[in-house]
Amino acid sequence: MKRTTLSLDEFLEGFKTKNRSVLARAITLVESENPEHQALAQELLQKILPATGKSKRIGISGTPGVGKSSFIETFGKFLTAEDLTVAVLAVDPTSKVTGGSILGDKTRMNELAIDPKAFIRPSPSGETLGGVSRRTREAMLLCEAFGFDIVLIETVGVGQSEVSVAEMTDFFMMLLQPGSGDDLQGIKRGILELVDMVVVTKDDGDNKLLIQKARHDYEQALHILRHEGWTPRVRTCSAIEKTGIDTIWSDINHFYDDQDNQIKNKRQSQLIQWMDQLVKDSLIQNFMSAVGIDQINKFREHVKSGKITPYQASQELLKLFTK
| Contact partner at residue 316 from ligand GTP, Mg ion, none, CB < 5 to 8 Å by partner kind | none
Are the CB atoms for 207 and 178 separated by under 8 Å?
A: yes
Question: What does R_g of the chain's alpha carbons equal in angstroms?
Answer: 22
Q: How far is the CB of 65 from Mg ion (least distance, A)?
A: 8
**Looking at beta carbons, which residue is closest to Mg ion?**
69
Instruction: Tell me: does residue 204 bind ligand GTP (CB under 6 A).
Output: yes
Q: Which is nearer to Mg ion, 69 or 164 (CB)?
A: 69
Instruction: Tell me: does residue 80 bind ligand GTP (CB under 6 A).
Output: no
C-alpha to C-alpha distance for 67 and 175, rounded to whole angstroms: 8
User: What separation, in Å, do the N-terminal and C-terminal C-alpha atoms of the chain show?
Assistant: 43
C-alpha to C-alpha distance for 100 and 79, rounded to whole angstroms: 26
| Contact partner at residue 67 from Mg ion, ligand GTP, none, CB < 5 to 8 Å by partner kind | ligand GTP
Question: Can you name the residues that pair with 6 across neighbouring β-strands?
Answer: none
Q: How far are the Cα atoms of 113, 154, 237, 273 from residue 205, in angstroms, in the given order?
A: 27, 26, 12, 44
Instruction: Tell me: does residue 77 bind ligand GTP (CB under 6 A).
Output: no
Task: Write the CB contacts of 132 (distance below 8 Å, at least 6 apart in sequence).
Answer: 91, 92, 93, 123, 124, 126, 161, 164
Select from 18-26, 128-136, 237-245, 253-261 the region that touches ligand GTP (CB under 6 A): 237-245
C-alpha to C-alpha distance for 136 and 87, rounded to whole angstroms: 12
Instruction: Tell me: does residue 92 bind Mg ion (CB under 5 A).
Output: no
Q: How far is the CB of 109 from Mg ion (least distance, A)?
A: 9
C-alpha to C-alpha distance for 297 and 299, rounded to whole angstroms: 5
Contact pattern from residue 156 through residue 185 relative to ligand GTP, giving x for each residue in contact according to CB under 6 A and a dash for the rest = x-----------------------------
Among 63, 69, 133, 169, binds Mg ion (CB under 5 A): 69
Q: Which is nearer to Mg ion, 69 or 94 (CB)?
A: 69
Positions touching ligand GTP (CB under 6 A) are 62, 64-70, 101, 105, 108, 156, 201-202, 204-205, 238-240
